[in-house]
Structure 1
Amino acid sequence: MTACVTRMLAGLAAGCLLAAGGAAADSSEVLGWVEKAELKPWDIKVKAKLDSGALTSSIDARDIASFTRDGEDWVRFRFRLEDEDTGDTVTEEVERPLYRTLTVRGAGGRDQRPVVLLKLCIGNTVYEEQFSLRDRSAMNYPVLLGRRTLGHLGHLDVGRTFTRDAECGEDAEFVAHKPHAQDDD
């Protein structure tokens, strides 16, 4: 069995567990395959596609550049996102420490992508998650949430969309990032 088929089967199995309410989810919440999420601290509401076929979450990023700060690897990037509530386009330059580098293998070959930690509100909880940086301007959804994130969001119902609004005020629960054994994928 090829590595591609193995990864595809693993993604399908994880998706079935989530959809069936398996042990992969810590919450009894049910989410649709597209949800509204809020990118923190900018408070920009975006459409996020929940994708059990992807391991690592991804966000639309442009002008990606690596640099060194105080001996550490950092990444500078720009996002240009439409706020789903206001319709305004928000452009922001962001600098974050490089968490790791992700190698993506596909039909077009291999691609190296920087991964950073960002905060995202779903429902009334803020999650600190890994996001690979990629130009997603040609995609329908600027944010894709992979299995690492889905595993603690709740159950996935692929027949539903927009099951809740992102409502994270100052009293929102915060779930800090926890390193995974698979962080070297």
Structure 2
Amino acid sequence: MRLKMLTLCSALLMTCGAAMANQPNVYGLSEKALLPELDLEVPAKLDTGAVTASLSAQNIKLFKRDGEDWVRFELAVEGEQEGKELELPVVRISQIKRRAADIPEGESKDYTSRPVIEMAVCMGGVKENIEVNLTDRTSFSYPLLIGSTALQQFDAMVDPSLEYSAGNPECTS
């Protein structure tokens, strides 16, 4: 009997330990995000209602390089990197549904096309390569928006009562 109880208790402890190991990373509604390739830290809004991630950029121009699609743009973020011109390969072109308030009068186009690049993003101690579309976000509080596709990659759970709960981004390699 005692052996059965010990076995049962051990099994319960292992089950609880395994369940705790599979817990998602808890983030707040806003977090500090590091873009390691740019050596740039920006505030990010975590938005489960958005599908894709968006980075603030201006003067966005598509061009061809060696038969491939590339994009040239300037970072539209406050700080040292503001206005820095970058050229990166385009992963794809995203069709983003426009809000009714964003459609100019007389225009019927419900979607806008945006180039999508891939970049590393670090939040807390987690770094993921995510797809990010480029758009002018200078009228928003956050230059980086992280949508549900990237949040899944981060194994994220967003607690809207929290802000900057992951602390400073500290990703290695």
Q: Quickly name the TM-score band, shorter chain normalised.
A: 0.7 to 0.9
AA aligned opposite 1:29: N
Find the aligned partners of 1:61 and 1:140 in 2 and give their Cα distance. 14
The answer to whether the aligner puts 1:74 opposite 2:70 as a matched pair is: yes
| Pairing of 1:1-185 with structure 2 (within 5 A) | 27-82=23-78, 88-91=79-82, 92-106=84-98, 107=100, 108=103, 109-153=110-154, 154-169=156-171, 171-172=172-173
TM-score normalised over the length of structure 1: 0.71
Contact conserved, 1:57 with 1:149, CA < 8 A, in 2? yes
RMSD: 1.6
Structure 1: give runs of 5+ residues left out of the alignment.
Answer: 1-25, 83-87, 173-185
Following superposition, the deviation at residue 29 of structure 1 comes to 1.8
Following superposition, the deviation at residue 27 of structure 1 comes to 4.9
TM-score normalised over the length of structure 2: 0.76
Find the aligned partners of 2:64 and 2:153 in 1 and give their Cα distance. 33
AA aligned opposite 2:117: V
Secondary structure at the aligned position of 2:81 is classed as strand
Aligned structure 1 segments of 4 or more residues deviating by more than 6 angstroms: none
Find the aligned partners of 1:96 and 1:42 in 2 and give their Cα distance. 12
Residue matched to 2:9: none
Secondary structure at the aligned position of 2:137 is classed as coil
Structure 2: give runs of 5+ residues left out of the alignment.
Answer: 1-21, 104-109
Contact conserved, 2:32 with 2:169, CA < 8 A, in 1? no
Following superposition, the deviation at residue 35 of structure 1 comes to 0.4
Secondary structure at the aligned position of 2:55 is classed as strand
Number of matched residues? 141
Find the aligned partners of 2:23 and 2:47 in 1 and give their Cα distance. 18
Following superposition, the deviation at residue 42 of structure 1 comes to 2.1
Query: Which deviates more from structure 2 when the two are superposed, residues 103-112 or residues 121-130?
Result: 103-112
Following superposition, the deviation at residue 122 of structure 1 comes to 0.7
